[in-house]
Amino acid sequence: MSELGLCSRREADEWIAKGWVRVDGKVVSELGTKVHPSQRVTVERQAAAEQSKRVTILINKPVGFVSGQAEDGYKPAVALIKPENRWEEDRSTERFHPTQLRSLVPAGRLDIDSVGLLVLTQDGRVAKKLIGENTDVDKEYLVRVQYLKGGKLPEADLRKLNHGLWMDGKPLLPAKVVWQNDDQLSFTLREGKKRQIRRMCEMVGLKVIGLKRVRIGKVRLGNLPEGKWRYLLPDEHF
Protein backbone atom coordinates (compact mmCIF):
# COMPACT_ATOMS: atom_id res chain seq x y z
CA MET A 1 0.00 0.00 0.00
CA SER A 2 2.88 2.31 0.80
CA GLU A 3 4.62 1.43 -2.48
CA LEU A 4 1.40 2.17 -4.38
CA GLY A 5 1.40 5.66 -2.81
CA LEU A 6 -1.94 5.09 -1.07
CA CYS A 7 -0.61 5.93 2.38
CA SER A 8 2.32 5.54 4.75
CA ARG A 9 3.17 2.20 6.38
CA ARG A 10 1.78 3.43 9.70
CA GLU A 11 -1.48 4.49 8.07
CA ALA A 12 -1.70 1.12 6.31
CA ASP A 13 -1.45 -0.63 9.69
CA GLU A 14 -4.24 1.57 11.08
CA TRP A 15 -6.51 1.01 8.08
CA ILE A 16 -6.00 -2.75 8.16
CA ALA A 17 -6.80 -2.81 11.90
CA LYS A 18 -10.04 -0.91 11.21
CA GLY A 19 -11.08 -3.29 8.45
CA TRP A 20 -10.83 -0.68 5.71
CA VAL A 21 -8.57 -2.70 3.38
CA ARG A 22 -9.70 -5.35 0.91
CA VAL A 23 -7.76 -7.69 -1.37
CA ASP A 24 -9.84 -8.93 -4.30
CA GLY A 25 -12.93 -7.73 -2.44
CA LYS A 26 -12.19 -9.58 0.83
CA VAL A 27 -11.42 -7.67 4.03
CA VAL A 28 -7.83 -8.17 5.23
CA SER A 29 -7.42 -8.09 9.01
CA GLU A 30 -3.92 -9.51 9.48
CA LEU A 31 -0.87 -7.23 9.29
CA GLY A 32 1.84 -8.43 6.92
CA THR A 33 -0.53 -10.38 4.67
CA LYS A 34 1.20 -11.28 1.40
CA VAL A 35 -0.39 -9.87 -1.76
CA HIS A 36 0.31 -11.22 -5.24
CA PRO A 37 1.00 -8.62 -8.01
CA SER A 38 -2.10 -9.80 -9.86
CA GLN A 39 -4.37 -9.14 -6.87
CA ARG A 40 -6.29 -5.89 -6.44
CA VAL A 41 -5.96 -3.82 -3.25
CA THR A 42 -8.80 -1.40 -2.44
CA VAL A 43 -9.58 0.79 0.56
CA GLU A 44 -12.89 1.96 1.98
CA ARG A 45 -14.03 5.56 1.55
CA GLN A 46 -13.60 6.21 5.28
CA ALA A 47 -9.82 5.94 4.80
CA ALA A 48 -9.75 8.64 2.12
CA ALA A 49 -12.07 10.84 4.20
CA GLU A 50 -9.84 10.52 7.26
CA GLN A 51 -6.72 11.18 5.20
CA SER A 52 -8.22 14.35 3.72
CA LYS A 53 -8.61 15.80 7.22
CA ARG A 54 -4.90 15.50 7.93
CA VAL A 55 -3.07 18.80 7.80
CA THR A 56 0.39 19.86 6.72
CA ILE A 57 1.82 22.98 8.34
CA LEU A 58 4.73 25.19 7.29
CA ILE A 59 6.60 27.09 9.99
CA ASN A 60 9.49 29.53 9.91
CA LYS A 61 11.47 27.96 12.75
CA PRO A 62 13.47 30.36 14.93
CA VAL A 63 16.83 29.60 16.56
CA GLY A 64 16.49 27.76 19.86
CA PHE A 65 13.70 25.35 18.86
CA VAL A 66 14.33 21.70 18.00
CA SER A 67 12.57 20.07 15.06
CA GLY A 68 11.26 17.00 16.86
CA GLN A 69 10.92 15.91 20.47
CA ALA A 70 11.88 18.33 23.27
CA GLU A 71 15.49 17.84 24.38
CA ASP A 72 17.96 19.43 26.82
CA GLY A 73 15.35 21.93 27.95
CA TYR A 74 14.68 23.20 24.42
CA LYS A 75 11.12 23.38 23.12
CA PRO A 76 10.00 21.55 19.98
CA ALA A 77 8.85 23.59 16.99
CA VAL A 78 5.34 22.14 17.35
CA ALA A 79 4.97 24.24 20.52
CA LEU A 80 4.68 27.28 18.23
CA ILE A 81 1.60 25.87 16.46
CA LYS A 82 -1.15 27.80 18.24
CA PRO A 83 -3.78 30.26 17.00
CA GLU A 84 -1.91 33.40 18.06
CA ASN A 85 1.15 32.41 16.01
CA ARG A 86 -0.75 31.73 12.79
CA TRP A 87 0.38 34.07 10.01
CA GLU A 88 -2.20 36.78 9.46
CA GLU A 89 -1.76 36.44 5.68
CA ASP A 90 -2.39 32.68 5.58
CA ARG A 91 -4.74 32.16 2.61
CA SER A 92 -5.94 28.74 3.76
CA THR A 93 -9.60 28.37 4.75
CA GLU A 94 -8.60 25.61 7.19
CA ARG A 95 -9.70 26.30 10.77
CA PHE A 96 -7.30 25.46 13.59
CA HIS A 97 -8.32 22.74 16.02
CA PRO A 98 -6.19 21.15 18.77
CA THR A 99 -6.75 17.70 17.22
CA GLN A 100 -4.48 18.83 14.38
CA LEU A 101 -1.56 18.62 16.82
CA ARG A 102 -2.03 14.86 17.21
CA SER A 103 0.53 12.88 15.23
CA LEU A 104 1.90 16.15 13.80
CA VAL A 105 5.51 15.24 13.06
CA PRO A 106 8.42 17.02 11.36
CA ALA A 107 9.09 15.83 7.80
CA GLY A 108 12.83 16.42 8.00
CA ARG A 109 15.22 18.11 10.42
CA LEU A 110 16.38 21.66 10.91
CA ASP A 111 19.18 22.21 13.44
CA ILE A 112 18.46 24.06 16.67
CA ASP A 113 20.76 26.91 15.59
CA SER A 114 19.25 27.13 12.08
CA VAL A 115 16.15 29.01 10.95
CA GLY A 116 13.68 28.78 8.11
CA LEU A 117 11.21 26.42 6.49
CA LEU A 118 10.17 23.38 8.53
CA VAL A 119 7.32 21.07 7.50
CA LEU A 120 5.12 19.43 10.14
CA THR A 121 2.53 16.96 8.88
CA GLN A 122 -0.13 14.44 9.87
CA ASP A 123 -0.09 13.02 6.34
CA GLY A 124 2.13 9.97 5.90
CA ARG A 125 2.24 10.53 2.13
CA VAL A 126 3.87 13.94 2.64
CA ALA A 127 6.39 12.55 5.12
CA LYS A 128 7.33 9.75 2.73
CA LYS A 129 7.70 12.20 -0.15
CA LEU A 130 10.07 14.44 1.83
CA ILE A 131 12.11 12.00 3.90
CA GLY A 132 11.60 8.59 2.31
CA GLU A 133 14.62 6.61 1.10
CA ASN A 134 13.94 7.44 -2.55
CA THR A 135 13.00 11.10 -2.15
CA ASP A 136 13.84 13.33 -5.10
CA VAL A 137 12.77 16.57 -3.39
CA ASP A 138 15.62 19.06 -3.12
CA LYS A 139 16.06 21.67 -0.39
CA GLU A 140 17.61 25.13 -0.71
CA TYR A 141 19.50 26.98 2.03
CA LEU A 142 21.06 30.43 2.32
CA VAL A 143 24.28 30.14 4.31
CA ARG A 144 26.29 33.08 5.65
CA VAL A 145 29.93 32.06 6.01
CA GLN A 146 33.37 33.26 7.05
CA TYR A 147 36.53 31.88 5.42
CA LEU A 148 39.03 31.06 8.16
CA LYS A 149 42.17 30.72 6.04
CA GLY A 150 42.40 34.32 4.85
CA GLY A 151 41.48 35.72 1.46
CA LYS A 152 38.72 34.05 -0.54
CA LEU A 153 37.59 30.45 -0.82
CA PRO A 154 39.55 28.84 -3.69
CA GLU A 155 37.51 27.77 -6.72
CA ALA A 156 38.75 24.20 -6.24
CA ASP A 157 37.13 24.09 -2.79
CA LEU A 158 33.88 25.53 -4.17
CA ARG A 159 33.90 22.68 -6.70
CA LYS A 160 34.41 20.21 -3.81
CA LEU A 161 31.31 21.60 -2.11
CA ASN A 162 29.38 20.90 -5.30
CA HIS A 163 30.73 17.37 -5.63
CA GLY A 164 33.64 15.45 -4.18
CA LEU A 165 33.27 15.48 -0.38
CA TRP A 166 32.79 12.36 1.73
CA MET A 167 30.85 12.12 4.99
CA ASP A 168 30.40 9.20 7.38
CA GLY A 169 32.43 7.00 5.05
CA LYS A 170 30.29 7.66 1.97
CA PRO A 171 30.50 10.14 -0.93
CA LEU A 172 27.92 12.91 -0.77
CA LEU A 173 25.44 13.28 -3.60
CA PRO A 174 26.14 16.15 -6.02
CA ALA A 175 24.93 19.49 -4.67
CA LYS A 176 24.50 22.93 -6.18
CA VAL A 177 26.54 25.51 -4.28
CA VAL A 178 26.94 29.06 -5.62
CA TRP A 179 27.88 32.43 -4.20
CA GLN A 180 24.97 34.82 -3.60
CA ASN A 181 27.24 37.67 -2.49
CA ASP A 182 30.63 38.11 -0.79
CA ASP A 183 29.74 36.23 2.38
CA GLN A 184 26.67 34.16 1.50
CA LEU A 185 26.34 30.85 -0.34
CA SER A 186 23.25 29.12 -1.68
CA PHE A 187 23.21 25.34 -1.07
CA THR A 188 20.73 23.06 -2.87
CA LEU A 189 20.83 19.48 -1.58
CA ARG A 190 18.97 16.24 -2.24
CA GLU A 191 20.01 14.60 1.01
CA GLY A 192 20.01 15.68 4.65
CA LYS A 193 22.68 14.14 6.83
CA LYS A 194 22.92 15.51 10.37
CA ARG A 195 24.44 19.02 10.30
CA GLN A 196 25.53 18.30 6.74
CA ILE A 197 26.03 21.86 5.51
CA ARG A 198 28.00 22.91 8.58
CA ARG A 199 30.23 19.85 8.27
CA MET A 200 30.73 20.40 4.53
CA CYS A 201 31.78 23.99 5.21
CA GLU A 202 34.24 22.93 7.92
CA MET A 203 35.93 20.58 5.43
CA VAL A 204 36.93 23.52 3.22
CA GLY A 205 37.76 26.04 5.95
CA LEU A 206 34.43 27.88 6.13
CA LYS A 207 32.68 28.79 9.37
CA VAL A 208 28.87 29.01 9.21
CA ILE A 209 27.59 32.25 10.74
CA GLY A 210 23.94 31.74 9.86
CA LEU A 211 21.83 29.13 8.05
CA LYS A 212 18.30 29.52 6.69
CA ARG A 213 16.22 27.00 4.71
CA VAL A 214 14.22 28.88 2.09
CA ARG A 215 12.71 26.14 -0.09
CA ILE A 216 11.64 22.48 -0.02
CA GLY A 217 10.88 21.24 -3.52
CA LYS A 218 8.41 23.68 -5.10
CA VAL A 219 7.32 25.15 -1.75
CA ARG A 220 9.08 28.34 -0.67
CA LEU A 221 9.38 30.04 2.71
CA GLY A 222 8.44 33.32 1.02
CA ASN A 223 7.36 36.11 3.37
CA LEU A 224 6.36 33.86 6.25
CA PRO A 225 7.72 35.68 9.35
CA GLU A 226 10.02 33.95 11.83
CA GLY A 227 8.05 32.11 14.51
CA LYS A 228 4.83 32.15 12.44
CA TRP A 229 3.09 29.25 10.69
CA ARG A 230 0.56 28.59 7.95
CA TYR A 231 -1.21 25.66 6.32
CA LEU A 232 0.01 24.07 3.10
CA LEU A 233 -2.52 25.16 0.48
CA PRO A 234 -4.45 22.60 -1.60
CA ASP A 235 -2.74 23.80 -4.79
CA GLU A 236 0.80 23.62 -3.31
CA HIS A 237 2.85 20.51 -4.01
CA PHE A 238 6.41 19.71 -2.99
Of 13-22, 83-92, 146-155, 214-223, the least confident = 13-22
CA distance 137 to 140: 10
User: Over the stretch 166-183, which tens digit does the pLDDT of each residue have?
Assistant: 999 999 999 999 999 999
> What pLDDT score was predicted for residue 14?
84
Residues 63 and 122 in one domain: yes
> What pLDDT score was predicted for residue 49?
64
> What pLDDT score was predicted for residue 32?
83
- The percentage of residues in the chain with a pLDDT greater than 90, rounded to a whole number, is 65
Residues 66 and 172 in one domain: no
Would you say residue 116 lies in a domain? yes
Could you confirm whether 111 is annotated as catalytic?
yes
Would you say residue 222 lies in a domain? yes
> What pLDDT score was predicted for residue 200?
98
Residues 99 and 199 in one domain: no
Number of domains in the chain: 3
Residues 186 and 131 in one domain: no
Residues 191 and 223 in one domain: no
CA end-to-end distance (rounded Å), the chain: 21
pTM score of the predicted model: 0.80
Q: CATH number for the domain including 167?
A: 3.30.2350.10
Active-site position among 111, 123, 136, 183: 111
Residues 68 and 170 in one domain: no
Residues 24 and 14 in one domain: yes
> What pLDDT score was predicted for residue 51?
61
- Range from 21-35, 116-130, 158-172 that averages highest in pLDDT: 158-172
> What pLDDT score was predicted for residue 52?
59
CA distance 212 to 192: 14
Would you say residue 4 lies in a domain? no
Residues 223 and 110 in one domain: yes
H or E segment at 188?
Answer: strand 184-189
Residues listed for the chain? 238
Would you say residue 236 lies in a domain? no
Give residue 168's domain range: 139-216
Would you say residue 170 lies in a domain? yes
Would you say residue 206 lies in a domain? yes
> What pLDDT score was predicted for residue 99?
86
Residues 204 and 170 in one domain: yes
Eight-class DSSP state of 71: B
User: Over the stretch 35-91, which tens digit does the pLDDT of each residue have?
Assistant: 988 999 988 887 766 665 789 999 999 999 999 887 788 999 999 999 999 999 999
